Amino acid sequence: MRGVTHTLLGAAVVLPIAVSREPAVAAGCLWLGMVGGGLPDWLDLRSDFKTQFRLKHRGASHSLIVLVGCAALLYLGLISLQGSPAAFGGTAVAPKDSTVAAWVAALALGIGSHLGSDACTFAGIRPLLPFSQWKVWLLPRFLRSRSDGYLDTVVRVLALVTLAFGFVVYAGRWIARP
């Protein structure tokens, strides 16, 4: 998939979590979903990790270890904020437990959506790197496409439709609130 598609898909997959939250938490979910959606390719193509660890495209950056590792880092970061409200000049903006859970899940889902959609392309992914070269695809061969092939368009349109639907549902809920 292209970068835009991954980002849109990352936002779309977190809607089930975001839709029942208050605006600030929901916005955080969407943002983390989009970050997660872009993260594996960012690690490969743009970041310093690329040169430092000699990452090959769709290598370990597209593995479950990155998903779990990033979710764990975010969890630890948010939990540490809870322990020290002074981190923000004494203002108590430490996230609640339910917010921490929602944001960590959003990041994991975003990264998961990236891995899942790349696993629908010809190249597939190797989710168990660096431990195993085992390769997976989520679609039968005749339905796979190139990263910029028909699937990119299909996924992008589906993500946009889902997002539009999500925003309508969300807006409806907040307008209908007493």
Binding site for Zn ion (CB under 5 A): 40-41, 118
Which of 26/120 has CB closer to Zn ion? 120
Q: What 3 state SS string does the chain have?
A: CCHHHHHHHHHHHCHHHHCCCCHHHHHHHHHHHHHHHHHHHHHHHCCHHHHHCCCCCCCHHHCHHHHHHHHHHHHHHHHHHHHCHHHHCCCCCCCCHHHHHHHHHHHHHHHHHHHHHHCCECCCECCCCCCCCCCECCCCHHHCECCCCHHHHHHHHHHHHHHHHHHHHHHHHHHHCC
Give the residue with the Cβ less far from Zn ion, 118 or 152: 118
CB of 21 to Zn ion, least distance (A): 28
- CA–CA separation, 2 and 154 (whole Å): 12
- Closest approach of Cβ 143 to Zn ion, in Å? 18
Which residue, 26 or 41, has its beta carbon nearer to Zn ion? 41
Residue 68 beta carbon to Zn ion: minimum distance, rounded to whole angstroms? 17
Give the residue with the Cβ less far from Zn ion, 57 or 173: 57
Q: Provide, rounded to whole angstroms, the least separation between the CB of residue 115 and Zn ion.
A: 8
Which CB sits closer to Zn ion, 95 or 116?
A: 116
**Minimal distance in Å, beta carbon 42 to Zn ion?**
9
